[in-house]
Amino acid sequence: MKKYILLIFAFLLTAQITEAYAQKSVFSREYPRIMTSVRAMGMGNAFYGVSNDKYAAFYNPAGLAMNKSHWSLDLIPLTIGVNDNLVNNGTELSNMFLGGGLDTNSIAKILDGMMGQYNNINPVGVFPAFTYKNWSFGIFLNSNVNLLTYNSAMPTVAAKVHADAGAVFTYAHSFLKDKSLHVGASIMGIFRMAYTGSYSSVDIAELDTSSILNNALSNQGWGVLGSVGIMYELPWLRKELNARVGLSFNEFGYTSFASGLDEITPTLNLSFAISPNWNFISSNIVVDFNDLLFMAGSDKSFGKRVNIGAEIGFWNRIFLRTGLHQGYWTAGAGVNIWALRINYAYYTEEMGAYAGQYADTRHVLEVVIGWDQMLKNPHNKIIK
């Protein structure tokens, strides 16, 4: 009898360890990013062949040489995103984690109804920046909260809180007689902190949020990173389509991170794009191949690294976007009215080891108060 009891105990213990490792793997398999453009996510995150705004530092710095604005100032920019599960479960999660006064049994019932679900607030960010033609400087803060419910025998929440803050400078310049070759570089200082933990219903009922903050502050690190990129406008297709090819090597450098933090690994990215324009209509069609050397993340899925996107703009004020991100459809829209710019994106993030395994549908909204002074020639043409 003792033998069977030991075998059962060993099986249960192994199951718990395996399940906990599985949750950690789900968290780690989201494609890693420091900052993501809402405009880009509406285009399937196919943006390495465009990147003509302040986000060039996180895509292809060379794109800033094709910046259409004389100057722009994003003074109060706020981005917030949530997934579908959080939209449905937001009230219950708030009651559990923000002092709703629920007892252990009530919390266990709520968690049981969320079994296997992934809830996230991703991202919550600000990125004020000043951009003038071919250079840009900004400071950023990007954070997210991820919650995954598992273990039906004893409902448990695996939680991961992550935040990045830093400053970034980007410069790009055009070369050759016809200015068809663009080269750019960026340098970034970054501070990162994170917290990961698991909570049963009893733990949540007795939760001390100050301890979470203290643990996050003790699990931190910093780094200095650089990115370089090139874009070349194909001469035989330049006039009609503004066709180009881009290559970038992103986020290489030095980091000093605590052992509990996600590491930042460099990536090599290839992009093809066309941007035909007709009078008051502008457009971008982009195909990206990210992380060609499979250096980022914990998987080797090629499907997770292919993005296709399109954008069409009217009078440089109203924009419609669509694309395929990791095999999933995306959609977005934007308006630019004087000092106010609003962008929205609907997309799906792959949380599994390969495209099509674990889909997480999300919504993200960006609201920017600032100014954008346009050149007289807004369509990527050479200003003499």
Least confident residue range of 26-35, 169-178, 192-201: 26-35
**106 domain-assigned:** no
Q: Which tops the pLDDT comparison, 203 or 168?
A: 168
Locate the DSSP E strands across 108-175: 118-126, 129-132, 135-150, 156-175
- Residue 158 counted as domain residue: no
In which domain, by residue range, is 19 found? 2-81+124-136+170-190+225-374
Distance CA 294, CA 95 (A): 41
- State pLDDT tens for residues 145-196: 898 888 887 888 888 889 999 999 999 999 999 899 999 999 999 999 988 8
- Average pLDDT in the chain: 85
Of 188, 170, 357, 380, which is closest to residue 284 (Cα–Cα)?
380
Whether residue 153 is contained in a domain is answered as no
Q: What mean pLDDT is predicted for residues 95-121?
A: 82
Is residue 197 included in any domain, yes or no?
Answer: no
Please report, for the chain, how many H helices and E strands are present, in that order. 7, 16
pLDDT (tens digit, 9 = 90+) per residue, 228-248?
999 999 988 877 889 999 999
Supply the DSSP symbol for 194: E
Residue 220 lies in a domain: no
pLDDT recorded at residue 190: 97
Q: What is the pLDDT of residue 262?
A: 87
| pLDDT of the residue at 65 | 93
Q: Check residue 367 and give its pLDDT.
A: 97
**For 55-87, what is each residue's pLDDT tens digit?**
999 999 999 998 866 788 999 999 999 999 998
Residue 315 domain-assigned (yes or no): yes
Residue 1 scores a pLDDT above 80: no
**Residue 343, CA atoms < 13 Å, CB-side half-sphere:** 23
Assigned domain for 285 exists:
yes
pLDDT band at 209 (very low <50, low <70, confident <90, very high): low
Residue 131 and residue 124 in contact, taking contact as beta carbons nearer than 8 Å: no
What's the pLDDT at 372?
81
Statement: residue 332 has pLDDT above 80 = yes
- The total number of structural domains in the chain stands at 1
Question: What is the Cα–Cα distance from 89 to 95, expressed in whole angstroms?
Answer: 10
Q: Could you tell me if residue 332 is inside a domain?
A: yes
